């Protein structure tokens, strides 16, 4: 799990390098360890880029005049005659959406046996409509399917009825796999929208517009909202939960991205508040389990039991060390370090259990109280001692609960991929965009934590949603990988 998160973070740089032709040895090595689908996408995008560049060279005079027009790169062809008048349809004309692809690879018929409303027999009619859906297959080939939908008449209901085409959302012209793959690239991996277009674009006959992608992701997020709600419920009900927050840009303002995570759940919330209001939205009331956080005071009111991250505390000691050489500080820092190290070592003993080492734990607790309650002249020692007093019961919780860690690494790892996305995509421009982002990131991350292939899971859930009319439950942890 650890490796997969770091992998996602590195993918961004790899894709950019590959597309710019700057992939170095070490990056190629890393690329080779990624998901098959992603490797293929990067290679195809790179191949297309090469063809494009060769096309440009050809235009400079290297192209064989005997090459048939159809095999020539478009760059070498003369420019089309200049368009007369304004682009776009005349006023009053019907609007146009995504153009229908020229090629049809397969045809499918859809016809109801019985009326979906009353179950009665239907009178066969000759009414049909066709719908073209373009999608990416598992091997990344694209397939254009023309669906013929029969509309028959139900005498009981006195209306025409037609079956649902489960391959794409109503009125959508791209299939589930394309929607799921593009959303995973963007929200799961951190690839920017223009890079998603570039990676997938070469596969498609028709252009994937950024507006079309965003609209598809919004519909997807609306459908999967119940899973997002479920992830929050499960996180709130868990015995151990990590929390962390980081700055986020929302339409030019500073918002906060919150992350609540454990081994099987990862829930993101994008909110204008960095304090109580956001936590209240998530927790509603106090959390019953152990909450693992840094020393940010906003969490105080919500956790009955808490573990503050010891790595944060150790980092703080190092920071002070750099500017404070006073003997009192040195002695304080040395004692505190030794105390923390002793606690961590105790926990790491193979035979550790809170019962077996009860007296050792009591001794550690006593040392902490002594260190916290002593009087200090040094400003840093005094400030840190105050922090120890405030968090006396929140530093060694991991010795009472073996499933609690002494660091907040899990939440920090979970918050890293969106931070990478923040750098490439300037966070969100609207509250709706922020909500979509939070829903889809939570779902991708949680599916991954539970050992499921996010793509396959999303595609099959969308099929079920359209076939049965409701979303299947959020998958539990996979036995094979979990
Ligand atoms: Zn009927």
Residue 159 is predicted with a pLDDT of 95
Higher pLDDT, 411 or 82: 411
Evaluate whether 169 touches 462 at the Cβ level (below 8 Å).
yes
pLDDT tens column, 173-208: 899 999 999 998 888 777 788 888 888 877 677 678
**Helix or strand holding residue 177 (H, E):** helix 176-183
CA of 154 to the centre of ligand 1 (A): 5
pLDDT score of 250 = 84
DSSP calls for 262-291: -SS-EEEEEES-SSHHHHHHHHSS-EEEEE
User: Distances from the Cα of 4 to the Cαs of 7, 188, 364, in angstroms?
Assistant: 5, 11, 36
Task: Tell me, in angstroms, the distance from the centre of ligand 1 to residue 126's CA.
Answer: 18
The DSSP H or E segment spanning 147 is strand 142-154
Q: State what percent of residues in the chain have pLDDT above 70.
A: 80
Mean of the pLDDT values across residues 88-95? 57
What is the whole-number distance in angstroms between the Cα of residue 112 and the centre of ligand 1? 11
Per-residue confidence band for 102, with pLDDT thresholds at 50, 70 and 90: confident
Ligand 1 mean position, distance from CA 121 (Å): 8
Distance between Cα 106 and ligand 1 center (Å): 31
Average pLDDT over residues 336-354: 96
Average pLDDT on 403-408 reads: 94
CA–centroid distance, residue 163 to ligand 1 (Å): 13
**N-term to C-term CA, the chain:** 10
Cα 440 to middle of ligand 1, angstroms: 37
pLDDT for 448 beyond 70: yes
C-alpha 119 – ligand 1 centre gap (Å): 6
Could you count the other beta carbons within 10 Å of the beta carbon of residue 164?
Answer: 14
Distance of CA 169 from the midpoint of ligand 1 (Å): 24
Q: How much distance in Å is there from the Cα of 472 to the middle of ligand 1? A: 27
Distance from Cα 431 to the centre of ligand 1, integer Å:
42
Q: Compute the distance from residue 116 Cα to the ligand 1 centre, in Å.
A: 6
321 CA → ligand 1 middle, Å: 79
Q: Quick one: pLDDT band at residue 30, thresholds 50, 70, 90?
A: low
Provide CB contacts within 8 A for 384, sequence distance 6+. Answer: 316, 317, 320, 332, 336
Q: Give which of 438, 412, 250 is closest to 446, Cα–Cα.
A: 438
pLDDT category at 14 given cuts 50, 70, 90 is confident
In this structure, of 125-139, 352-366, 372-386, the range with the lowest mean pLDDT score is 125-139
Q: Which of 471, 473, 479 is closest to 450 using CA atoms? A: 479
Label residue 419 by pLDDT band (50, 70, 90). Answer: confident
User: Average pLDDT, stretch 470-475?
Assistant: 95
Q: Band the pLDDT of 92: cuts 50, 70, 90.
A: low
**pLDDT above 70 for 301:** yes
What is the band of 60 on the pLDDT scale with cuts at 50, 70, 90? very low
Q: Which of 21-25, 62-66, 137-141 has the lowest mean pLDDT?
A: 62-66
Q: What is the pLDDT of residue 4?
A: 45
Q: 204 CA distance to ligand 1 centroid (A)?
A: 39
The closest of 389, 381, 384 to 324, measured between CA atoms, is 381
Lowest mean pLDDT among 85-94, 226-235, 360-369: 85-94
Query: Rounded CA gap, 97 and 207, in Å?
Result: 11
Structure tokens at 70: 């159809």
Q: Concatenated DSSP letters for 374-432? A: S--SSHHHHHHHHHHHHTGGGSSHHHH-TT--SS-HHHHHHHHHHHHHHHHH-SBSSHH
Give 118 Cα–ligand 1 centroid separation in angstroms: 4
Determine the average pLDDT of the residues in 27-38: 67
| Cα(155) to centroid(ligand 1), Å | 7
C-alpha 114 to ligand 1 mean position (Å): 8
Q: Which residues pair with 270 in a beta bridge?
A: 257
Query: How confident is the prediction for the chain on average, in pLDDT?
Result: 84
Structural tokens at position 414: 């979970």
pLDDT above 80 for 125: yes
Q: Residue range 264-293: average pLDDT?
A: 92
Give me ligand 1 centre to Cα 469, in Å.
Answer: 18
Using the mean position of ligand 1's atoms as its centre, give its distance from the Cα of residue 120 in Å: 5
> In a 10 Å sphere around its CB, with 0-12 CB exposed, 13-18 middle and 19+ buried, how is residue 219 labelled?
middle
Q: Name the pLDDT band for 315 (thresholds 50, 70, 90).
A: very high
pLDDT of residue 75: 44
DSSP string, 305-322: EEEE-HHHHHHHHHHHHT
Q: Given CA atoms 215, 218, 223, 224 in this order, what sign does their dihedral have?
A: positive
Taken in order 196, 197, 202, 207, the sign of the CA dihedral is positive
Using the structure block, give the residue that is written with the tokens 């119940």: 226
* pLDDT at 135 > cutoff 70: yes
Percent of the chain clearing pLDDT 90 (strictly above): 57
Res. 431 pLDDT band, cuts 50 70 90: confident
Distance CA 185, CA 277 (A): 31
Ligand 1 centroid – CA 166 distance (Å): 21
- What pLDDT does residue 331 have? 96
> Are 56 and 70 spatial neighbours (Cβ–Cβ below 8 Å)?
no
Long-range contacts of 203-210 (CB under 8 A, 24+ apart): 203/44, 203/136, 203/140, 203/141, 203/142, 204/134, 204/142, 205/101, 205/102, 205/103, 205/134, 205/142, 205/144, 206/98, 206/99, 206/100, 206/101, 206/134, 206/173, 208/174, 208/178, 208/182, 209/98
Indicate if the alpha-carbon torsion angle 311, 317, 318, 319 is positive or negative: positive
Distance 107 CA to ligand 1 centre (A): 27
Is 336 a residue whose pLDDT tops 80? yes
């Amino acid at each position: 799990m650890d490796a997969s998160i770091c992998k996602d973070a590195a993918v961004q740089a790899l894709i950019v390098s590959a597309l710019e032709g700057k992939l170095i040895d070490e990056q190629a090595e890393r690329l080779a360890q990624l998901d098959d689908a992603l490797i293929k996408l990067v290679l195809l995008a790179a191949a297309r880029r090469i063809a494009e560049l060769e096309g440009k060279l050809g235009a400079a005079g290297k192209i064989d005049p005997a090459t048939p027009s159809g095999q020539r790169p478009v760059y070498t062809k003369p420019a089309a005659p200049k368009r007369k008048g304004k682009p776009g349809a005349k006023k009053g004309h019907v609007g146009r959406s995504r153009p229908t692809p020229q090629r049809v690879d397969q045809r499918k018929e859809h016809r109801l046996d019985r009326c979906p409303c009353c179950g009665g027999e239907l009178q066969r009619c000759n009414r049909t409509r066709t719908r073209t859906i373009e999608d990416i297959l598992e091997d990344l080939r694209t397939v254009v399917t023309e669906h013929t939908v029969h509309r028959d008449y139900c005498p009981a209901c006195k209306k025409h009825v037609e079956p649902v085409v489960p391959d794409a959302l109503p009125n959508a012209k791209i299939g589930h796999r394309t929607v799921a793959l593009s959303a995973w690239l963007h929200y799961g991996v951190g690839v920017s929208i223009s890079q998603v277009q570039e990676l997938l674009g070469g596969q498609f006959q028709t252009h994937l517009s950024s507006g079309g992608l965003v609209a598809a992701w919004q519909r997807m997020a609306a459908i999967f909202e119940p899973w997002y709600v479920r992830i929050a419920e499960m996180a709130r009900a868990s015995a151990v939960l990590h929390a962390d927050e980081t700055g986020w840009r929302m339409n030019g303002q500073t918002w906060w991205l919150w992350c609540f995570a454990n081994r099987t759940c990862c829930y993101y919330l994008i909110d204008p508040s960095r304090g109580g209001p956001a936590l209240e939205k998530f927790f509603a009331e106090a959390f019953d389990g152990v909450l693992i956080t840094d020393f940010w005071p906003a969490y105080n009111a919500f956790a009955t039991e808490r573990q503050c991250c010891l790595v944060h505390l150790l980092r703080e000691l190092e920071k002070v060390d750099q500017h404070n050489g006073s003997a009192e500080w040195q002695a304080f820092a040395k004692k505190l370090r030794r105390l923390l190290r002793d606690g961590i070592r105790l926990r790491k003993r193979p035979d550790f259990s809170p019962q077996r080492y009860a007296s050792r734990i009591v001794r550690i607790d006593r040392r902490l109280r002594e260190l916290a309650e002593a009087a200090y002249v040094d400003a840093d020692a005094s400030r840190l001692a105050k922090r120890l007093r405030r968090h006396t019961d929140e530093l060694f919780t991991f010795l009472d609960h073996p499933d609690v860690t002494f660091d907040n690494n899990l939440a920090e790892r979970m918050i890293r991929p969106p931070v990478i996305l923040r750098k490439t995509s300037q966070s969100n421009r609207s509250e709706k965009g922020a909500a979509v982002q939070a829903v889809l990131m939570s779902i991708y991350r949680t599916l991954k934590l539970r050992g499921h292939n996010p793509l396959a899971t999303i595609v099959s859930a969308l099929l079920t949603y359209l076939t049965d009319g409701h979303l299947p439950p959020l998958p539990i942890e996979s036995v094979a990988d979990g």
